[in-house]
A and B are shown apart, each in its own frame.
Chain A
Amino acid sequence: MTDSKYFTTNKKGEIFELKAELNNEKKEKRKEAVKKVIAAMTVGKDVSSLFPDVVNCMQTDNLELKKLVYLYLMNYAKSQPDMAIMAVNSFVKDCEDPNPLIRALAVRTMGCIRVDKITEYLCEPLRKCLKDEDPYVRKTAAVCVAKLHDINAQMVEDQGFLDSLRDLIADSNPMVVANAVAALSEISESHPNSNLLDLNPQNINKLLTALNECTEWGQIFILDCLSNYNPKDEREAQSICERVTPRLSHANSAVVLSAVKVLMKFLELLPKDSDYYGTLLKKLSPPLVTLLSGEPEVQYVALRNINLIVQKRPEILKQEIKVFFVKYNDPIYVKLEKLDIMIRLASQANIAQVLAELKEYATEVDVDFVRKAVRAIGRCAIKVEQSAERCVSTLLDLIQTKVNYVVQEAIVVIRDIFRKYPNKYESIIATLCENLDSLDEPDARAAMIWIVGEYAERIDNADELLESFLEGFHDESTQVQLTLLTAIVKLFLKKPSETQELVQQVLSLATQDSDNPDLRDRGYIYWRLLSTDPVTAKEVVLSEKPLISEETDLIEPTLLDELICHIGSLASVYHKPPNAFVEGSHGIHQHSADQFAIMKQYFSVLQVWLPATKAKGLEIAGTFSRRQGHMYMDMTFINKALQHMTDFAIQFNKNSFGVIPTTPLPIHTPLMPNQSIDISLPLSTIGPVMKMDPLNNLQVAVKNIIDVFYFSCLIPLNIFFVEDGKMERQVFLVTWKDIPNENELQYQIKECHLNADTVSGKLQNNNIFTIAKRNVEGQDMLYQSLKLTNGIWILAELRIQPGNPNYTVTNPFFSTDIVFAAHIARSE
Chain B
Amino acid sequence: MIGGLFIYNHKGEVLISRVYLSYSDSAAVHYGLPRPGLFSWRNAVDAFRVNVIHARQQVRSPVTNIARTSFFHVKRSNIWLAAVTKQNVNAAMVFEFLYKMCDVMTAYFGKISEENIKNNFVLIYELLDEILDFGYPQNSETGALKTFITQQGIKSQTKEEQSQITSQVTGQIGWRREGIKYRRNELFLDVLESVNLLMSPQGQVLSAHVSGRVVMKSYLSGMPECKFGMNDKIVIDKQGKGGTADDAGKSGKQSIAIDDCTFHQCVRLSKFDSERSISFIPPDGEYELMRYRTTKDIILPFRVIPLVREVGRTKLEVKVVIKSNFKPSLLAQKIEVRIPTPLNTSGVQVICMKGKAKYKASENAIVWKIKRMAGMKESQISAEIELLPTNDKKKWARPPISMNFEVPFAPSGLKVRYLKVFEPKLNYSDHDVIKWVRYIGRSGIYETRC
Tell me the A residues contacting B by CB distance below 8 Å.
2-4, 6-7, 35, 38-39, 42-44, 62-64, 67-68, 71, 98-101, 104, 108, 111-112, 114, 134-137, 139-140, 143-144, 146-147, 149-154, 173-176, 179, 182, 186-187, 189-192, 212-213, 215-217, 220-221, 224, 243, 245-247, 249-254, 256-258, 286-287, 289-290, 293, 295-298, 300-302, 322-323, 325, 327-329, 331-333, 353, 356-357, 360, 363-365, 401-404, 566, 568-574, 578, 581-586, 604-605, 751-752, 827
**Residue pair B86, A143 in contact (C-beta under 8 Å):** no
- Considering the chains assembled together, what is the distance between the CA atoms of A578 and B65 in angstroms? 13
**Residue pair A100, B31 in contact (C-beta under 8 Å):** no
Instruction: Known A289-B293, A583-B35; judge A108-B170 contact (CB<8 A).
Output: no
**Residue pair B26, A190 in contact (C-beta under 8 Å):** yes
Closest to A61 in B: B156
* List of B residues within 8 angstroms of A134 by Cβ: 163, 166
B394 within 8 A of partner (CB) = yes
**Residue pair B122, A3 in contact (C-beta under 8 Å):** yes
Q: How far is the CB of B168 from chain A (nearest CB, A)?
A: 9
Choose one: A179, A289, A290, A572; the contact of B136 (CB below 8 Å): A179
- Considering the chains assembled together, what is the distance between the CA atoms of A566 and B87 in angstroms? 13
* List of B residues within 8 angstroms of A140 by Cβ: 133
Q: How far is the CB of B448 from chain A (nearest CB, A)?
A: 11
Instruction: Known A173-B171, A254-B93; judge A300-B138 contact (CB<8 A).
Output: no
B28 within 8 A of partner (CB) = yes
Q: How far is the CB of B373 from chain A (nearest CB, A)?
A: 24
- Residues B189-223 near A (CB distance < 8 A): 198, 200, 206-207, 209, 211
As a 0/1 sequence over residues 122 to 150 of chain B, the CB contacts with chain A under 8 angstroms (1 = contact) are 11011001000110111111000000100
**Residue pair B264, A42 in contact (C-beta under 8 Å):** no
- Considering the chains assembled together, what is the distance between the CA atoms of A246 and B262 in angstroms? 10
**Residue pair B119, A175 in contact (C-beta under 8 Å):** no
**Residue pair A356, B200 in contact (C-beta under 8 Å):** yes
* List of A residues within 8 angstroms of B178 by Cβ: none
**Residue pair B34, A332 in contact (C-beta under 8 Å):** no
Q: How far is the CB of A207 from chain B (nearest CB, A)?
A: 15
29 contacts between A and B (CB under 8 A): A3-B119, A4-B119, A64-B122, A64-B126, A101-B154, A101-B165, A136-B167, A137-B166, A143-B136, A147-B134, A175-B170, A258-B93, A290-B260, A293-B211, A298-B95, A322-B207, A328-B400, A328-B447, A333-B60, A353-B206, A356-B206, A364-B397, A403-B393, A566-B88, A570-B88, A574-B65, A581-B70, A584-B34, A752-B32
Q: How far is the CB of A435 from chain B (nearest CB, A)?
A: 13
**Residue pair B395, A403 in contact (C-beta under 8 Å):** yes
Closest to B260 in A: A286
**Residue pair A71, B166 in contact (C-beta under 8 Å):** no
Closest to B398 in A: A363
**Residue pair A249, B154 in contact (C-beta under 8 Å):** no
Closest to A137 in B: B166
* List of A residues within 8 angstroms of B207 by Cβ: 322-323, 325
**Residue pair B445, A327 in contact (C-beta under 8 Å):** yes
**Residue pair A215, B138 in contact (C-beta under 8 Å):** yes
Closest 7 CB pairs of A and B: A286-B260, A136-B166, A254-B92, A2-B119, A246-B273, A4-B118, A254-B93
Q: Is the interface of A mostly helix, strand, loop or mixed?
A: helix
* List of A residues within 8 angstroms of B125 by Cβ: 38, 67, 71
- Residues B10-30 near A (CB distance < 8 A): 13-17, 20-22, 25-28, 30
B89 within 8 A of partner (CB) = yes
Choose one: B30, B68, B93, B162; the contact of A581 (CB below 8 Å): B68
* List of B residues within 8 angstroms of A298 by Cβ: 92, 95-96, 99
* List of B residues within 8 angstroms of A63 by Cβ: 153-154
**Residue pair A568, B90 in contact (C-beta under 8 Å):** yes
Instruction: Known A143-B134, A328-B400, A582-B87; judge A403-B170 contact (CB<8 A).
Output: no
**Residue pair B171, A329 in contact (C-beta under 8 Å):** no
- Considering the chains assembled together, what is the distance between the CA atoms of A192 and B35 in angstroms? 15
- Considering the chains assembled together, what is the distance between the CA atoms of A170 and B163 in angstroms? 21
Q: How far is the CB of A154 from chain B (nearest CB, A)?
A: 6
**Residue pair B206, A325 in contact (C-beta under 8 Å):** yes
**Residue pair B92, A249 in contact (C-beta under 8 Å):** no
**Residue pair B134, A190 in contact (C-beta under 8 Å):** no
B62 within 8 A of partner (CB) = yes
Instruction: Known A136-B170, A290-B262; judge A114-B91 contact (CB<8 A).
Output: no
**Residue pair B87, A189 in contact (C-beta under 8 Å):** yes
**Residue pair B88, A175 in contact (C-beta under 8 Å):** no
**Residue pair B96, A329 in contact (C-beta under 8 Å):** no
Choose one: A243, A289, A574; the contact of B259 (CB below 8 Å): A289
Q: Is the interface of B mostly helix, strand, loop or mixed?
A: mixed
As a 0/1 sequence over residues 71 to 101 of chain B, the CB contacts with chain A under 8 angstroms (1 = contact) are 0101000000000011111111101111100
Q: How far is the CB of A769 from chain B (nearest CB, A)?
A: 22
B61 within 8 A of partner (CB) = yes
Q: Classify chain B's interface size.
A: 35 or more
- Considering the chains assembled together, what is the distance between the CA atoms of A252 and B99 in angstroms? 10
**Residue pair A568, B26 in contact (C-beta under 8 Å):** no
Instruction: Known A4-B118, A566-B88; judge A301-B259 contact (CB<8 A).
Output: no
* List of B residues within 8 angstroms of A144 by Cβ: 134
**Residue pair B14, A44 in contact (C-beta under 8 Å):** yes
* List of B residues within 8 angstroms of A190 by Cβ: 26-28, 31, 33
- Considering the chains assembled together, what is the distance between the CA atoms of A99 and B160 in angstroms? 10
Q: How far is the CB of A75 from chain B (nearest CB, A)?
A: 8
* List of B residues within 8 angstroms of A356 by Cβ: 200, 206
**Residue pair A569, B262 in contact (C-beta under 8 Å):** no
As a 0/1 sequence over residues 277 to 295 of chain B, the CB contacts with chain A under 8 angstroms (1 = contact) are 0000000000010110100
**Residue pair A64, B31 in contact (C-beta under 8 Å):** no
Choose one: B21, B88, B133, B157; the contact of A108 (CB below 8 Å): B133
Choose one: A154, A331, A572, A584; the contact of B28 (CB below 8 Å): A584
- Residues B373-400 near A (CB distance < 8 A): 393-395, 397-400
Closest to B148 in A: A101
- Considering the chains assembled together, what is the distance between the CA atoms of A434 and B437 in angstroms? 66
Instruction: Known A4-B119, A300-B61, A332-B60; judge A363-B397 contact (CB<8 A).
Output: yes
As a 0/1 sequence over residues 3 to 15 of chain B, the CB contacts with chain A under 8 angstroms (1 = contact) are 0000000000111
* List of B residues within 8 angstroms of A179 by Cβ: 136, 138
B300 within 8 A of partner (CB) = no
**Residue pair A333, B138 in contact (C-beta under 8 Å):** no
**Residue pair A246, B272 in contact (C-beta under 8 Å):** yes
- Considering the chains assembled together, what is the distance between the CA atoms of A182 and B97 in angstroms? 16
Choose one: B141, B153, B265, B400; the contact of A251 (CB below 8 Å): B265
**Residue pair B288, A329 in contact (C-beta under 8 Å):** no
**Residue pair A365, B137 in contact (C-beta under 8 Å):** no
* List of B residues within 8 angstroms of A136 by Cβ: 165-167, 169-170
Q: How far is the CB of B12 from chain A (nearest CB, A)?
A: 13
* List of B residues within 8 angstroms of A401 by Cβ: 395
- Considering the chains assembled together, what is the distance between the CA atoms of A130 and B138 in angstroms? 17
**Residue pair B148, A333 in contact (C-beta under 8 Å):** no
What would 13 more interface pairs be, CB under 8 Å, given A249-B262, A568-B92? A4-B119, A139-B170, A186-B1, A212-B269, A249-B263, A251-B288, A323-B207, A323-B209, A331-B59, A569-B91, A570-B88, A581-B68, A827-B32
**Residue pair A101, B96 in contact (C-beta under 8 Å):** no
* List of B residues within 8 angstroms of A574 by Cβ: 63, 65
- Considering the chains assembled together, what is the distance between the CA atoms of A327 and B209 in angstroms? 13
Q: How far is the CB of A250 from chain B (nearest CB, A)?
A: 6
* List of A residues within 8 angstroms of B418 by Cβ: none
**Residue pair B89, A570 in contact (C-beta under 8 Å):** yes
- Considering the chains assembled together, what is the distance between the CA atoms of A192 and B260 in angstroms? 41
As a 0/1 sequence over residues 226 to 245 of chain B, the CB contacts with chain A under 8 angstroms (1 = contact) are 00000000000000000000
B115 within 8 A of partner (CB) = yes
**Residue pair A4, B398 in contact (C-beta under 8 Å):** no
* List of A residues within 8 angstroms of B445 by Cβ: 327-329
* List of B residues within 8 angstroms of A98 by Cβ: 159
**Residue pair A191, B31 in contact (C-beta under 8 Å):** yes
Choose one: B32, B121, B170, B293; the contact of A135 (CB below 8 Å): B170
Instruction: Known A44-B14, A147-B134; judge A39-B26 contact (CB<8 A).
Output: no
**Residue pair B37, A146 in contact (C-beta under 8 Å):** no
